[in-house]
Every structure is written in C-alpha cells, then in structure tokens.
Structure 1
C-alpha cells in the first residue's frame, strides 16, 4: 500500500507538460471543431484520418511511450516568462525559431497545404495539428518555464494532491461530469458573428490569450492551497470558453487547409 501511494504521488507531481486537456478535453475540442467544419473539409479530413476528429485528437499523447516519437515532446507547449506585455509576447512569437507549439503549428499548417504530401505523413501531421491546437488553449501550456507550466505549483483538489497544470488538464473538466459529446453540445451554441471573429484571429493571438489567462491562474492560487467548489465556480466559465475557442479555431484552420 505504501508503495502504491508513493507511486501515485510521483505521478501527480511529475512535470508532464505535454499532457494538455487530458483525453476528455481534447475530444471536446475535436467534436466542436468537426461540428463547425465545412462539408468539404469534413469529408477530406475523415478520408485522411479514417476516424472522427475527436477520436484522432489524443494520438500524440498515446504515442509518447514509443521512443520513436520522443522528438514530439517539446511540440505540445511553449514556456514564456512572467510579466510580459502583449507586445512583448507578440514580438517573441514573431522571432521564435525554437521547437515549441507555436512554431510547430505553423509548420504543420504549411505542410498540410502541400498536395504532394504522402498519405501516411499527412495523417500523422493532421493528428498532431488537431492535438496541438487543443493544447495551446489549455492556459498552462503557455505557462512559466520555472515551474514547468504549473506542474510544480502543488495544490489539493477535493483533498487529493494535484498541481495547477493537472487541475486544468483534466480534473476541472472531469468535475463537470459530462461525456465529450454532451460537453460539446452544451458549448456549441455561439453566434455566427462570434465564430467569424474568433476565426479571424491569428494563431499568435491564441497564444497571447492563453498566456494572459495563465497569468491570472497563477495569481488565483497559493502553493498547497485546498481547492474545491469555489474554484470551479470561479473558473468554469474560462474553462468552457477555452474549450469552445479551441474547437472553433481548429475548425477554421481545417477549413482553411481542406475547405
């Protein structure tokens, strides 16, 4: 029993930066995206994937146990230091050439627009793109380098040990007790005007928004703080908007590539 507890504690505190939204969150984003794609894009994407966007969305997390895909680890997030103004974030992204979610999303979009791309490569790149767009709407994936995107901010969630990153990856979503299709149905009720506005935003804006939300999330907790009902009440609207934006942004991107 002691060994099992120790292993659980180790799992909770491991710096798993690449685990964004968890399976449920990624499927919610994917389901919302597919419901907002053009028929042409939807058909092409289904042909490439051989499954729904929602079911393909977790593939990059599933392959992490395979050493052949170890190079993907840094693709899932970007770390930005504390205290950056919007202009500084935008400037950083414009000049960025490192391996992270921002540079790789742009790379994948560019590659997927190439007609001559082999089917196997196209399928892999599309699976990764779907996942990364979900990742960057989880605010802690645009968190601070010194705490590994909130992984080192230890907390308690309903009396169980956790950290700020894990709380936003999965626990806050799972607390709503909805399946991914139910959750997508609840959220997928925005206006055409709002969809148009969100899909007109550049990719850099997605990262800026997540960075600004992450700043507020850091300020909203203290290390080892015990969180429960009130935290959900205070943050569920932000959670839901980020899931919805992730789906709408992904739909716009896939319509652009395949529409």
Structure 2
C-alpha cells in the first residue's frame, strides 16, 4: 500500500518537476503582451521594428526567449529570465546573480540594439529576446524566492491535478480563461491617457520592485498542496490581466525609447 501511495504522489506532482525547468509566461501570455505593445508603439518605431524583424510581429517573436532554451548554445541567457531576491529588500540593495538576471539581460539587449556597429542579425536576435524579457518581468513569480525557484518548488493542485504555483501563474489560469492572445489583447480594460502614462512611469528597476509586491501576494494566496479551483481563478485572474496589460504598455515604451 505504501508503494502505491508513493507512486501516486510522484505521478501527481511529476508535471511540476518538468515545468520547473521551463519558467515563463505561457506562450499565450507572451503573445498577448506583444500584441498589446503593437497597438501602443509609435509609427516610426513600428517601421524600424518591421525592418529588423523582416515583417514579423511582436506577438510572433515574443516567445523567442523560451524557444531557444532547448539550444545549448544559448545557456548563458537562462538566468536572464528571472530575479530571485529576499522579500525584505529591493532590487538595488539585493545580492546580484553573477550569471546575470532580468535587469542585466534587459539592459544588455538595449545596449546591443543601440550599438551602431551591431549587425542587423544580432540586433534582431536581441530585440526578440528583449520583447520576451519585458514580458517575463511582469510575471510575479519571476521575482520569486530563490529557495523554491520562483514558486516552481511550491507544489499545489490545479483543479485536482498536480502542478506548482509558478505554473498556475504562467499558464494555468490563462488556459482556463480560454481566450486566444488576440482576444485577450482586445478585451483588456479600457484605460485613460493618465492611466497609460502612470503605467509607463518609472525604470525597469522600479517595475521589478513593483512586481515583487505582487509576488509576495501570490505566495500568500495559497498553501502548499492546496487544490486551487474556481475561487482562486476568481480572486486572482484580474491581476494576471493587469500584468499582461502593463507588460504590453511598458514594452511599447521601452521600444519607443530605443528607436526614438
């Protein structure tokens, strides 16, 4: 009987172990952010991006940062997708990852794109990576705890199936909502000009510190092993939508600043 129970537990939580190796907004989340950004960027920015990406959309290239994870040549970029820091410090006071983190990755991408000696091919590579990283910055669990790999080790259930808290915020709630990325982008909250400007305020570091406040709330939103269902979705999905919308608007700002 004990062996059967152990096998059941391994089966129940096996999915989350694999998922821990691939932390991300799900593809739909990243594409939503790219689609939203495309509606906010200036015409001049749009034309320059179209030239660099040979007409590919921001939504299409938004998953690039995760697409290349299976290629060993790009292992150096893996730590760029997240930041782990204690909840009682802000980014500027935290111990930095010697391999780099989200802030370093974003700034590196920007510097390469701005460098006049960089080839078009390299500019396109780092532009696609930048689009992805700005998206990651707005997923609360990408600014999570080091000890559980941003919630990847925080085991829960989602409608009775084993997973982890990171995965719930990456993709489970978005999948449950059952909209395409274009439908999500079109159906975001209507914002006034002042609200859009308020989202654009601040630096990348300010946005990281803001995302950390959401991460703290996420960790407090569930217990280890809890079966998260309709109530969790009801209480938390608006935060997901807000972060996707902020991510798109802020991505547009970063791109407008780059290509001004």
TM-score normalized with structure 2 length: 0.91
Correspondence for 2:81: 76
Answer yes or no: is 1:198 the counterpart of 2:202.
no
Aligned partner of 1:229 in structure 2 is 230
Q: Which runs of 5+ in 2 are unaligned?
A: none
Distance 2:243 2:210 in 1: 9
Given that residues 15 and 151 in structure 1 are in contact (C-alpha distance below 8 angstroms), is that contact kept between their aligned partners in structure 2?
Answer: yes
Rounded to whole Å, the distance in 1 between the matches of 2:22 and 2:163 is 16
Contact 2:13 2:162 in 1 (8 A): yes
1:19 maps to which residue?
23
Shift of 1:155: 0.5
- Computed over aligned residues only, the root mean square deviation of the Cα atoms, in angstroms, reads 2.1
Equivalent position of 1:153 in the other structure: 154
How many residues of Structure 1 are paired with residues of Structure 2 in the alignment? 252
Partner of 1:163: 164
For the Cα contact (< 8 Å) 2:12–2:161, is it kept in 1? no
Within 5 A, what are the aligned runs for 1:1-259?
9-14=13-18, 16=20, 18-50=22-54, 51-82=56-87, 84=88, 88-92=89-93, 96=96, 98=98, 99-187=100-188, 189-259=190-260
Compute the displacement of 1:91 (Å).
Answer: 2.8
Q: Distance in 1 between matches of 2:217 and 2:178?
A: 25
Structure 1 residues 150-170: Cα deviation after superposition (integer angstroms, max 9, x where no partner):
001100111111100000110
List per-residue Cα deviations over 1:7-54 (Å, max 9, x = no partner). Answer: 884342236365311100000000000110000001111111120000
Q: Please give the secondary structure, in 1, of the residue aligned with 2:179.
A: coil
* Secondary structure, aligned partner of 1:209: helix
